[in-house]
Amino acid sequence: MSDKTEHPPVPAAFAALGVRNSILRGLAEAKFETPSEIQSLLIPPALQGVDLLGQARTGTGKTAAFGIPILQRAEKGLATQAIILVPTRELAVQVDAEIKRIGQFTPIRSVPVYGGQKIMAQMKFLKHGPEILVGTPGRVIDLLDRRIINFNNVRFVVLDEVDRMLDIGFRDDIRNILSRVKGIRSQEEGARDEGGGGARAQTMFVSATISEEIERLARKYMREPVEKLIAPGADEKPTVEEVAQYYLSAEPWDKYRMLRALLEKENPDLAIVFTRTKRGAEKIAKRLHADGIECREIHGNLAQNKRDHVMKGFRHGKFDVLIATDLASRGIDVADISHIINYDIPEDPEVYVHRVGRTARMGAQGKAFTFVQKDQGDELTKIENLINMVIPVAKVEGFEPRPPPADWTDAKPGSYVPTGEAKPVVNRFERAYSPSAGASGSSSAAQQPVVIQAPPRTIGSKIPINRRHKRRR
Ligand code: AMP
């Protein structure tokens, strides 16, 4: 049987980086033609076994950048040679899926392990001794403590989103895990085991942002000379500049109607609506459903298998609007997300960047809308300062703000979804905060709103099947 007739041509640009044929075939199937910048930078030294600190913007192919060298260098049949630590369950599933996809023509197997899933179910897969383990720290420690896995063969350690992994919340777990990897503990304690000491694990730590403090911590676990590789543009603050970003002035009681109007005008291919609370996500999803807009919700109250199911449906275009809490914002990697809607503006501006970073991945087009209440000017200003640009105001054509409904009290939570209707009032759309406090160069006082006025079309599941299939899996 001839391979040539069955498979797309292998990507020569990856071959030039030293990537082996079995992996090139996987890349061809995944339609990776040219390496992204971080891949070009990272793959050759990673194949040489150098310890690497890699920085590149969200969605620019970091997974394959560390996944390809591991797939290439791992030995068939030796359990747990690579341990890839990630901060969320969703990311564990995604990184594992990407490695499986790229490695489909290699004999190397990968298994995801994460909390919330029955340990017995994971044991079934671990019994076969997969070479690669992708996991969240808590579950990995659990598996080690129960002696279900051991680190005798570990040769590669990856911290994905290293900024988050070495942040206070995870730091102790990471220290615990890394201290069990050969060669790493002694370095942490200051005694380098340069040369001679036999096999030691190669470290590859990657992230969109790496502060000085994180770098200092990370280097404790790495062997010098560490190669620090920064993809062009990675250290320019925002990862969101290609996204067309707007804010919409909306009071809490108007936000749901605004959301509906915006979805109708924009008719997104794939949208994520972010809310601050789980309850808010639930309520919005319920209300959109009642209004005939096909959507699902994802948040921490859902069982893991439900979350996996929702993400699968979203990825495959079964529905086009996902209502999510921030839990999901780091983990979601779905190609072609066209719209991010911040129903609740995040208090932490970094969260805004993570949310908006879910769109415009790998250079795709994206739009982000943020609903801003009158008293949330400071939050908007903080975001503008962080991303170093002024976010223009927009208005949805035909949408008229209304006065507070009769059941309104100021104590309502951010994700208030009204049940009643109220009469329209004049739409002022004034800027919700003092321009003097805004980002540099702001001339927002005179700013004219961008009018969102695409002709209303059917939204939700009624998007024709042929349009849904244009996205990658
Ligand atoms: P990542 O940053 O690893 O989460 O990747 C973001 C998205 O880009 C994923 O859907 C990858 O499958 C895809 N991707 C990564 N590298 C490439 C490449 N060289 N060519 C095309 N797509 C890629």
For the chain, give every domain's residue range: 12-230, 243-467
Helix (H) or strand (E) holding 323: strand 321-324
pLDDT of residue 428: 28
Same fold, 12-230 and 243-467: yes
Q: What is the CATH number of domain 12-230?
A: 3.40.50.300
Buried/exposed code over 379-413 (b: 16+ C-beta within 10 A; e: otherwise): bbbbbbebbebbbebbbbeebebbeeeeebeeeee
Q: Quick check: CB of 40 below 6 Å from ligand 1? A: no
Give the ligand 1 atom nearest the CA of 31.
21
Q: Which of 10, 19, 32 to mutate to test the pocket of ligand 1 (most atoms within 8 A of CB)?
A: 32
pLDDT of residue 445: 41
73-93 confidence digits (pLDDT tens) = 999 999 999 999 999 888 899
Q: Quick check: CB of 60 below 6 Å from ligand 1? A: yes
263-321 confidence digits (pLDDT tens) = 999 999 889 999 998 899 999 999 999 999 999 998 877 777 888 888 888 888 889 89
Please tell me the pTM assigned to this model.
Answer: 0.63
Ligand 1 mean position, distance from CA 117 (Å): 27
175-232 confidence digits (pLDDT tens) = 999 999 987 765 555 544 444 445 689 999 999 888 888 999 999 999 988 999 998 7
User: Looking at the predicted structure, is the pLDDT value of residue 433 above 90?
Assistant: no
The answer to whether the CB of 170 falls within 8 A of the CB of 137 is: yes
* Rounded alpha-carbon distances, angstroms, from residue 172 to 138, 141, 169, 179: 10, 11, 8, 10
Q: Quick check: CB of 359 below 6 Å from ligand 1? A: no
Q: Quick check: CB of 333 below 6 Å from ligand 1? A: yes
Question: CB under 8 Å to 394, separation ≥6 — which residues?
Answer: 246, 247, 248, 369, 449, 450, 451, 452
Ligand 1 mean position, distance from CA 256 (Å): 34
Q: What is the CATH number of domain 243-467?
A: 3.40.50.300
